[in-house]
Each structure stands twice: as C-alpha cells, then as structure tokens.
C-alpha cells in the first residue's frame, strides 16, 4: 500500500506469557515444578482480577453517585465557544461574576477532604482559586483538583470573589476564583526538573547544585535554569524580559522605518573569512567551505553603494570566540544600520543618538509594568538613568581618557594609542560619568585610528584619530560605529596599513563597490541582548537571551 | 612604540631606476653601448619634461583664464550646509528655481565644445541636466562635465527648467536642470563590468555571455547581473523590488505586533541535526560539531510551551539542499509565527489568512509606484489578483485534488496519499483556481498526514488527514503550517510512526517542553523571498533576494 517512503508503525509485540502464544519450536514439555508455579500464578492473577473488578465497581458506583460528574476531568469535546479572560482583565468589576480562565497550576494544595486551593499562573502572573465541597461539587472533585500535577494547564470556570484577607503570594491579591468547573487541557509530568517559582529569584553566585537559601528554598543555578529554559521562561521575570527584548526590536524597526530606511537581509553564508579567520565559524558547503558572517558590515556598505541610501538589518551575528564571560555569546541578535550623509558624519551620529534615546525613553513608557516586575527580582542596578534634556551626552574619546586619568587610572597604554579602554576602565568611566552627568547612556566619539578596523574613516584634520564612535549603557559598550572610507584607493591603503591584503579573495566585490562610486556614509551595529541586559541591569547576558549559545552551550 | 598588535604600513619601495639607487653589490661598470643608451634616454626624458612643463603652463594659463574656476571639479571643503533635494521633490513648483541635487551620472554626452548633457540618476529615477558655455560657464567646465565617468556621484546646482520637448528617456520628462555648478563626490572607474541601464530589462533566457538584443543593446545575463549585484541594485527595478521586500517584512511585523505577538530570536546554531541530516549545514564549533537550524520550528514551539502565547520571528533559514531551480535558495528569509488557540486550529488559520490578505492588500496600496515600475520590466505575469471580498479562498486538499482530476490530471499517487502535489500540479491548480475564483491567493487545508512532518496534529475525526495547511500565490507555495501535537506521548508515537527516533539526542529538550504541559497551538512559516517573487511575478527568486545564495553562488 501507500507510504513507500515513510516507515510504518512497528507492530505491537505480543504480551509476555500471553495464553495464545505458540510454544517455541523444539521446546520440551513443562516440568512438574513449572506446572505448580503456573497454577500458583493463575490463582494470584484471578485474585488480582477479582480485586480490580471490585475496585472498578466501586469507582463506577462513586462516579454514578458523583454529583460533580462532568464538571471536572478531561476537557469534554464541545462545539460551544467559551470565552476566556486574561488575568489582566480581572478587576473589581468582575467580582461576583462567572468567568473562565485558562492557566497553569503553579501550586495545588489539599486543605481537607472538602477544601483545596490552586495557585493559577498566566504568563507568570498569579491568581488564587479555591474549591469547596458543596453540592454539586463533590469530595471527589475536590480531591481531583487538589491532586492536579503542578504546571498542568487547566480550564477553570468560577465565580470571582474578593478574599477576606488579601492573598499576598498572588499577583492579583484582591481576587479569588471559586471553582465551579475545572478541566485538564494539558497535563504536566509529576516530576519537574525544577519548580518555576524557584526560578523567579535571580540565579545565585554559586554554580554548585542542590544548595538552599537561608530560608530553606532551593537555589536554582543559572545552569539548571538554562538547561530547563522552557520552565524558566514561564516565570514572571522571564516573561517581562522577553517582552523588553521584543520591545527594543520593535522600537528600533519603528524608528528606522519612520525615517525612511529600508529593511534588508544580507547573507550569513559567505565564501571567505574576510573579517579575520579566528573568530569565524567554518561550514561544510556542499563540496567546499563557507563561513558564517561575523557582521553585516561589508554587505550593508554594498547596499549603500547600491544606492539604497539608508538601510537596516535585524539578524543573528555569529562569533567563534572562545570567550566565557557574563556578556559574550557565540550568537546574538544584531541591530544594524548604515546611511549616507551630506556634509558631516555627525549627521549620522546625531541620528543614532536620537534612535537610542527614542528606544530607551519609549521602553520606560511602554513597558513600565514589565520593568517594575524585573526590578523586583533584580533591584541592585537601579533604574536606568536617561539624560534629562532628551539629548545624548557626547564626549570625545580623549575627554573620557582625561577623566579616567584624573581619577588616578593608569591610561599610559591608551595615551600611546596602543589599546582601547579595557572593560574595567569602561565601567569606571561609566561610574564617573553617572556621577558627573547623571546619565547611564553616553557616547564616545573620535577613537584613535589605531584601535579601529580598516574600513574606518580617519579624522580629516588629524589621522591619529578617526570618525568613529561607541555607545555605552551603564559603562558597557552596546554599539560601535563610524564613518566608512568610501574611496577605493584610500580603502586599499588603509587595508595595507592594517595588515589586511586587499587582493585576498572575497574583497574584490567589496572594493569594486567603491570603485564604481559610493556616497559618503556611516553607520553602526547594536547588540540587542546587551541593550536588554544593561537597560535592566541583569547580571548575565544569557538572562536576556531566549536560548543562549556560548562555547559550552548548544542546547536547548 | 605603539601598535604592537597592529601590523605597520610597509615602507614604500624605491622607484625603479631611481637616480640615487645604490648599485647592486659586485656589479661591473657600465659598457659603452649602455652609456650611449643612457644618453639617449636622458635626452628623451628632458624633451618629455619640457613638454610637460609647457602643458602645465598652458593649463595654468587656461585655469587662470577659466571664468568657471571654483564652479566645478572636486567638491570644495565648506562649513556651509547646502540643502539638496530629491528628484521626487522636483515638481512644476520648482520650475525656474535654483536647486542642488546629489545623483549618479547615468550617462554623459558632449554635444559640442559649448554644450553637454548628463542623465542624472537617483535610486533608479532619471532627470536630464544640461550645461552650455556662457559666462561664467566656460568651455573647460562643459568639457569636464561631459567627460565625467558614468556612475560617478556628483553634486549639481542648477536652475530647474521645463524642456521644450519632454525628455522621454528620463523618469521626470518635464524637468531639465540647467547646470550652474557641478562637483565630484565619488568618481567611478572608467570601465564598468556592465552598464546599469542594460540591467534595467529582465535578464534574458540565454546564459551565454556577450549576446545582443534585436535592437543591438547588450543582453546582460542573470549571472553577470548577480556577479555585479551592487550595480544591478542601482536600477529602478531593483530599487523598487528591494522596497517591496522591505515592505512585506514591515507589514508582517506590523500585523503581528498589532495583535499582541512577541518578537523572538531563536538560535541558528543547534547541537543536533534534529530535522534530518541531509538538508543541514554542518559547522565546526570549537572542538565539536554544530548545525545550522533549518527552521525555527522546534524553538518557536518551545516558546509556546514557555507560556509566550503568540510569537513571531524574522530570521535567515538555511537549507543544504542541492536544488538548482528558479525558486530554491540555500539561505532565505523566514517569517515565522506560532500561537496558542482556544477551541479549534482554524482560529490560527483565520489569523494567518487575514495576515496575508493584510500584507498583500497593503502592498498594493502603499507601494503602488514601485509595483508600476516593476510591471514595466516584468509585464508578463500581470497584476496580482486578490480575493474581491477581502477574505482568503480556503479549499480542502481533497477539493483541490478533485479539481485537478476533473481537469484530466493523473492524481493516482495523490489519491493513495503517497505524495503531495508536484510543482507542476500546484501551478495547474493555481491556473484553475484563478479562472474559477479570480484570485491568485488561496489556501489548501487538511493535507494527508502521510505527507506532513511528525509534529503535525492528525485530524481528530479522520487520522488519514491532518490539521495542516499550505498557502499559495500564483500556484506556488509560500507558506506551510499546521496545528502541532502538544501531548508528549502522542508526539513520541507520531515520531515512531514517521521513523524518527524520539530518543535521538536533541529531542529531549523538545519532548520535555510538552511533558511539562503545553497549550494547543498552531503556526506557520512564510518565505519572504518567494512572497516578493510571486507577488511581482518575477521569473527567479534571486531577483527578489539582495545577495542570493545557492549551491553554486557564495558571492558577492
């Protein structure tokens, strides 16, 4: 018959010791002792069957007598559409009305044979439900309700009541649902690798498993949380963080579109490791090699050379760096933009500053509730401070250096343009700036050319420096950008000066883009995960990433 | 000194035969004939130097006498901000006013010593400019203007005039710019691998290079166009196509956000090739292997299990399929969504249909001009027909099969559920449906379970079929979707029935997501490039992709 390419469902094996099983070929007849054993087993089986029948009859009798029959258990098939409400729709107005909700069971507790409590959870928000035996609600229904496995998804119909004492452990403490019907939508296994409520708190410093807090609650390590990320995402905090991440992306796209920018998708599969071999993942591409793009840099510039004027991209960025820190990932979400300008690259820098101020301001406006929720779990960092006048603070790199020097930091390497600021210096500068200017967001402009990549435009009046900038949040870099060299000859010279071979395979298309004429342009690349992390003051970038990837982690 | 990590600029080599070059060690003294030769060369050099000096003096005299000095040539440095206008801003109102534009030179033609014409191009749109020698404009300035390399970017200041005869070769035929100043912003090389205007027409059927059209214009093959994609992107048609692609993405995101969906980013680096080994790219991941995700399927479902209710993703999708067709790519842009439903998967199907109707309707509204531009180059396919009542046409798979059978197509394999429709069948069904229902967009629902992947929910009333659907545009598939199995045990059984081992490494996290409880959900995955291709009736998906990737192509 059909399905020649699809394997068939394997035939069920005959049950062990089944009566009609044919004896194995050539097997000898049964011995006396075996016969005795068989008779014993037969008697045992008969006894068990009788017991089972009795239990079944009892259950049937109970079920027949169950006044709550049909009010609980598996979700019955029904053509009727039963509107359900969100917890956010449960207000004082709904008191004394009958509502239906679909939610997870966060906790189930049997108080007595006649009373049970459920804590229901919807996207991390919690509401208490109660069931009491009183016709038609039977003791069986109370027992069933109190015995629902934690994390199961149920459909509950009940009356909204105001509890006598506010329920402090619930998100909506002035609401209690008095259950009339409860059906199972999706049953969770009895054993969960961790409890969702234990993941509500920040992960501990310890990486040792099985530790408990001072009050006896289990300490769920970051590893356990990430190993069980689906459960971890169900917490109120994770729900809020994923909304913030969604929000940053939306605000970025919204601003770019509003300003006439074109949404682009540049290839992640590239033929050559043009941006340096060590940080690039190598792919088996049919019979040859390919690489994963480390950034859309060369391609977004080629779009500009292709007369696209202003472009933006939202896409994964891959880094084969063996960095195991709190802020490095091997795959993250890049928010990139590139645009032409008329007179000066500060036209683009102004744009980028306004973009970030827009994103950060709107986050505080549109995601107030989520930010508050997250602040409960991560209070340490405090609210993110934005410049009061709605304009970004812009300092020159050398001004930042002077501030560090004044604070007694050894910046001798930086003064000789040998290295960029270290992470520690950046953080310290962040603290100095916060104190002096009362802002957690600022920009450094005019980095030394020596610490920037070959495609960066040197400063026309002093080639020691460059028309490049970094953006910082709470003293950590979230964006790097610059004016790019748009003249092919200048670009080739810059490549040679930086030890990059312009004749290397893969650069031909890039250089041709400028040989064929290209407008002056500038741009930048933002790291979404870092923006979320630093905006919220999270201790680890993995908490701002759905399914993080690092040198050690490729799952879930 | 500085830059210990950065390579230094190599020292310039001494020019060949330079006077102060030290003789090679141990070299013999010059011979008589060599001396004679040297004397001859010296005389020649002196003569050339005298000639050069004379020419320089002439040029200097000419320059001194040039009444247009400073009105043309390299862009002078200036602190002044000179506002420039877009071609779209050039209307009848601007007649007789002085404007400044930045544009490419599409074509330069010297008519006489006193007259030259430029065709200027901005994002593919063309406007003619003219320069005539009349004080202060000199013959030198006319010569310089007429000699500008094609594709260079210039800044032109001039008076907008209405030409006596409309300029049919220009986009704005009622506008002519009378040049007063012209400066070079970015000079293009003299030789271009192809002319932008030759890429304005559709690529020919031929793959042979160097062919010409009946009227003598060069036929630029698709290969040449893609090899020189930056030039190809500069055509009016490519500009319009990239706007449509941007528009589809924007409309998708807009609709999802408006309906409360969360923007997600799932990992492209995965630890195991869970979706079948052959179509997956393998990566060297530090000391082990990793793979590129073929779709966000398992991860977006895990987000639903993580209580995210409704999610969407816009991200690259990688397919290691050695398919060399007009509609296959190894990397394309996926628009994915997944959401829970309450009673029936048709809630999600309704949503998806409305999403597509929204995107396609809004494209026709917001991108009217771009669609018209593209239609000029690709008139064959005709306008995309949308259902008149604003509701998608939904047919059952078996209804489609019956329509094909009625048209005399051999569907015996399909009747036995051995195979899905072939591409040829789909196209024919598209024609039948267009004729019968006057629409290019329709949906097939209830595909046979045998032709769908393991995670598809079978039809509750007939497990031969499944709660799955495909979306079609002009008879070609643009989306596949379904209700997914949300019960772990049912999922395991379905895997086994499809020959997939549930115990395979990598499925554990996926199965656990359902073991821990998961709401009923459905979703789908759209191919952006195909939507653009079929909406516009383009002959090849590569024309709808910025930098296409296929088994043969990894550049530019």
B186 touches chain A (CB under 8 A): yes
A454 touches chain B (CB under 8 A): no
B484 flagged as catalytic: no
The residues that bridge with B469 in the sheet, in sequence order, are B445, B481
B262 shares a domain with B205: no
Instruction: With CB atoms and an 8 Å threshold, state whether A3 touches B417.
Output: yes
B343 touches chain A (CB under 8 A): yes
Tell me the average pLDDT of chain A.
90
Token pair belonging to B252: 């998708």
- Residue A422 inside a domain? The answer is yes
Are the C-beta atoms of B304 and B338 separated by less than 8 Å?
yes
Token pair belonging to A286: 């049919």
Tell me the average pLDDT of chain B.
90
| The pLDDT of residue A275 | 64
**Owning domain of residue A112:** 83-186
Contacts with B104 from chain A: Cβ below 8 Å = 307, 517
Distance from CA of B9 to the nearest CA of A (A): 4
Q: Report which DSSP code applies to B461.
A: T
Q: Give the number of C-alpha atoms closer than 13 A to the C-alpha of residue A352, restricted to the C-beta side.
A: 38
| The pLDDT of residue B277 | 55
B218 shares a domain with B262: no
Distance from CA of A496 to the nearest CA of B (A): 6
B208 shares a domain with B245: no
Residue that terminates a domain, selected from B186, B215, B250 = B186
Are the C-beta atoms of A354 and A386 separated by less than 8 Å?
no
B267 touches chain A (CB under 8 A): yes
Token pair belonging to A501: 């071979």
**Residue B200 and residue A3: Cα distance in Å, rounded?**
48
B200 shares a domain with B149: no
| The pLDDT of residue B11 | 33
B271 shares a domain with B213: no
Token pair belonging to A218: 């289990």
| The pLDDT of residue B9 | 31
Instruction: With CB atoms and an 8 Å threshold, state whether B104 touches A1.
Output: no
| The pLDDT of residue B91 | 86
Contacts with B506 from chain A: Cβ below 8 Å = 555
Average pLDDT (B320-349) is: 95
B228 touches chain A (CB under 8 A): yes
Q: A307 — alpha (psi -120 to 50), left (phi > 0) or beta? A: left
Does A287 score more than 60 pLDDT?
yes
Instruction: Report the b/e string of A397-419 with b at 16+ CB within 10 A.
Output: bbebbebbeeeebebeebeebbb
In this predicted complex, what is the ipTM? 0.88
Residue pLDDT, tens place only, B274-320:
765 568 999 999 999 999 999 999 999 999 999 999 999 999 999 99
Is residue B143 packed enough to be buried (19+ CB in 10 Å), middle (13-18) or exposed (0-12)?
A: middle
Average pLDDT (B185-193) is: 93
- Residue B457 inside a domain? The answer is yes
E strands, B204-322, where? 262-263, 269-270, 282-285, 288-292, 310-318
Average pLDDT (A466-490) is: 97
A191 touches chain B (CB under 8 A): no
Does A12 score more than 90 pLDDT?
no
Instruction: Report the b/e string of A105-126 with b at 16+ CB within 10 A.
Output: bbbbeeeeeeebbbbbbbbbbb
| The pLDDT of residue B14 | 34
- Residue A223 inside a domain? The answer is yes
pLDDT band of A276, cuts 50, 70, 90: low
Name the 3-class secondary structure at A248: helix
A202 shares a domain with A136: no
Partner residue facing B516 (CB), from A231, A264, A330: A231
What is the crossing angle of helices B397-406 and B423-437, to 10°? 90
Q: What is the DSSP string of B341-383?
A: -SS-THHHHHHHHHHHHHHHHHHHHHTHHHHHHHHHH--TT-P
Q: Which of residues 356-415 of B touch A (CB under 8 A)?
A: none
B262 shares a domain with B212: no
Neighbours of A371 (CB within 10 A): 18
Domain with residue B396: its CATH number is: 3.30.930.10
pLDDT band of A64, cuts 50, 70, 90: confident
- The phi and psi torsions of B427 (rounded to 5 degrees) equal -65, -40
Q: Which of residues 272-311 of B touch A (CB under 8 A)?
A: 281-286, 290, 292, 299, 302-303, 305-309
Q: Does B42 or A318 have the greater pLDDT score?
A: A318
- Residue A4 inside a domain? The answer is no
Instruction: With CB atoms and an 8 Å threshold, state whether B186 touches A517.
Output: yes
Q: What is the DSSP string of B376-443?
A: HH--TT-PPPPPTTSS-EEEEHHHHHHHHHHTT---HHHHTTSSPPPHHHHHHHHHHHHHHH--SEEE
- Residue A384 inside a domain? The answer is yes
Mutate to test the interface with A, among B152, B276, B307, B532 (most CBs of A within 10 A): B307
- Residue B537 inside a domain? The answer is yes
Please tell me which residue in B466, B480, B484, B521 is annotated as part of the active site: B480
Whether the bond into A136 is cis, omega within 30 of 0: yes
Please tell me which residue in A104, A225, A327, A452 is annotated as part of the active site: A327
Does A363 score more than 90 pLDDT?
yes
Q: Of A76-85, A488-497, B236-245, B514-523, which gets the smallest average pLDDT?
A: A76-85
Does A78 score more than 60 pLDDT?
yes
| The pLDDT of residue B21 | 35
The residues that bridge with A285 in the sheet, in sequence order, are A288
Pairing type for strands A288-292 and A282-285 reads: antiparallel
| The pLDDT of residue B204 | 83
| pLDDT over 70, % of chain B | 94
Pairing type for strands A521-527 and B72-74 reads: unpaired
Does B470 score more than 60 pLDDT?
yes
| The pLDDT of residue A25 | 40
Does B60 score more than 80 pLDDT?
no
Residue pLDDT, tens place only, B4-32:
332 333 333 333 333 333 334 444 455 77
What is the crossing angle of helices A508-515 and A297-305, to 10°? 30
Are the C-beta atoms of A484 and A456 separated by less than 8 Å?
yes
| The pLDDT of residue A455 | 95
Q: What is the DSSP string of A397-441?
A: HHHHHHHHHHTT---HHHHTTSSPPPHHHHHHHHHHHHHHH--SE
Average pLDDT (A394-400) is: 96
Distances (CA, A) of B224 to A264, A280, B194, B220: 22, 29, 8, 6
Contacts with B269 from chain A: Cβ below 8 Å = 281, 318, 330-331, 549, 554
pLDDT band of A207, cuts 50, 70, 90: confident
Is residue B304 packed enough to be buried (19+ CB in 10 Å), middle (13-18) or exposed (0-12)?
A: buried
Token pair belonging to B193: 């691998």
Count helices and strands in chain B by DSSP H and E runs: 14, 19
| pLDDT over 90, % of chain A | 74
Domain with residue B117: its CATH number is: 2.40.50.140
Q: Of A80-84, A89-93, A242-246, B277-281, which gets the smallest average pLDDT?
A: B277-281
Domains identified in chain A, total number: 3
- Residue A552 inside a domain? The answer is no
| The pLDDT of residue B92 | 83
- Residue A30 inside a domain? The answer is no
The DSSP element (H or E) to which B445 belongs, if any, is strand B441-445
Distance from CA of B450 to the nearest CA of A (A): 7
Q: Does B108 or A80 have the greater pLDDT score?
A: B108
pLDDT band of A74, cuts 50, 70, 90: very high
B426 shares a domain with B312: yes
Q: Of A268-282, A511-525, B62-76, B81-95, which gets the smallest average pLDDT?
A: A268-282
Partner residue facing A307 (CB), from B239, B269, B303: B239
Does B208 score more than 90 pLDDT?
no
Mutate to test the interface with A, among B306, B345, B450 (most CBs of A within 10 A): B306
Q: Of A78-87, A406-415, B205-214, B499-508, which gets the smallest average pLDDT?
A: B205-214
B321 flagged as catalytic: yes
A253 shares a domain with A204: no
Q: Does B5 or A68 have the greater pLDDT score?
A: A68
Average pLDDT (A121-129) is: 94
Average pLDDT (B122-143) is: 94
Neighbours of B453 (CB within 10 A): 19
Q: Does A55 or B283 have the greater pLDDT score?
A: B283
Does A219 score more than 90 pLDDT?
no
| The pLDDT of residue A505 | 83
Average pLDDT (B322-342) is: 95
A404 shares a domain with A437: yes
**Residue B556 and residue B548: Cα distance in Å, rounded?**
9
The residues that bridge with A386 in the sheet, in sequence order, are none
A213 shares a domain with A320: no
**Residue B283 and residue B271: Cα distance in Å, rounded?**
10
Instruction: Report the b/e string of A517-554 with b at 16+ CB within 10 A.
Output: bbbbbbbbbbbbbbbbbbbbbbbbbbbbbbbbbbbebb
Are the C-beta atoms of B230 and A302 separated by less than 8 Å?
yes
Partner residue facing B416 (CB), from A2, A228, A253: A2
B425 shares a domain with B385: yes
> For residues A236, A239, A245 and A250, what is the CA-based torsion angle, rounded to 10 degrees?
-120
pLDDT band of A29, cuts 50, 70, 90: low
């Amino acid at each position: 018959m059909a399905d020649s390419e699809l394997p068939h469902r394997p035939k069920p094996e005959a049950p062990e010791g089944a009566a009609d099983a044919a004896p194995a070929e050539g097997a000898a007849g049964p011995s006396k002792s075996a016969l005795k054993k068989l008779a014993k087993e037969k008697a045992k089986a008969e006894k068990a069957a009788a017991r089972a029948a009795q239990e079944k009859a009892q259950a049937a009798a109970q079920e027949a007598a169950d006044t709550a029959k049909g009010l609980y258990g598996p979700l019955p098939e029904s053509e009727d559409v039963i509107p359900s409400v969100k917890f956010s729709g449960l207000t004082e107005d709904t008191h004394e009305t009958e509502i239906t909700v679909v939610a997870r069971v966060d906790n189930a507790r049997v108080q007595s044979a006649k009373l049970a409590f459920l804590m229901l959870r919807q996207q991390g928000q919690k509401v208490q439900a109660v069931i009491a035996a009183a016709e038609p609600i039977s003791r069986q229904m109370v027992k069933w309700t109190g015995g629902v496995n934690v994390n199961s998804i149920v459909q509950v119909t009940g009356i909204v009541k105001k509890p006598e004492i506010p329920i402090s452990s619930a998100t909506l403490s002035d609401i209690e649902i008095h259950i009339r019907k409860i059906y199972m939508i999706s049953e969770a296994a009895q054993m969960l690798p961790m409890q969702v409520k234990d993941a509500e708190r920040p992960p501990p410093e310890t990486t040792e498993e099985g530790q408990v807090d001072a009050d006896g609650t289990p300490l769920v390590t970051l590893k356990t949380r990430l190993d069980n990320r689906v459960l971890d995402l169900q917490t109120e905090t994770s729900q809020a963080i994923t909304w913030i991440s969604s929000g940053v992306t939306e605000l970025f796209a919204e601003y770019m579109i509003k300003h006439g920018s074109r949404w682009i998708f540049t290839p992640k599969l590239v033929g050559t490791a043009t941006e340096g071999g060590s940080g690039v993942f190598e792919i088996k591409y049919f019979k040859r090699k390919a690489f994963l793009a480390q950034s859309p840099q060369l391609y977004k510039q080629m779009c500009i050379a292709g007369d696209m004027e202003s472009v933006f991209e939202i896409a994964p960025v891959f880094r084969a760096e063996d960095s195991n820190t709190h802020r490095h990932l091997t795959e993250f979400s890049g928010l990139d933009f590139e645009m032409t300008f008329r007179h000066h690259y500060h036209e683009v820098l102004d744009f980028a500053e306004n973009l970030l101020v827009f994103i950060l301001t709107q986050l505080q406006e549109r995601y107030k509730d989520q930010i508050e929720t997250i602040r409960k779990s991560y209070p340490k960092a405090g609210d993110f401070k934005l410049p009061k006048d709605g304009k970004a603070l812009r300092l020159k790199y050398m001004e930042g250096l002077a501030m560090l020097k004044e604070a007694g930091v050894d910046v001798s390497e930086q003064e000789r343009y040998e290295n960029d600021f270290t992470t520690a210096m950046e953080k310290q500068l962040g603290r100095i700036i916060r104190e002096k200017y009362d802002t957690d967001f600022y920009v450094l402009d005019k980095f030394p050319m020596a610490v920037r990549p070959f495609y960066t435009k040197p400063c026309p009046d002093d080639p020691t420096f460059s028309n490049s900038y970094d953006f910082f949040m709470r003293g950590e870099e979230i964006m790097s950008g610059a004016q790019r060299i748009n003249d092919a000859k200048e670009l080739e010279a810059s490549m040679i000066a930086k030890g990059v071979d312009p004749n290397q395979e893969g650069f031909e298309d890039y250089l041709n883009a400028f040989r064929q004429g290209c407008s002056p342009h500038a741009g930048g690349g933002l790291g979404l995960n870092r923006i979320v992390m630093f905006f919220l003051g999270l201790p680890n970038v993995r908490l701002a990433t759905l399914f993080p990837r690092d040198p050690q982690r490729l799952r879930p």
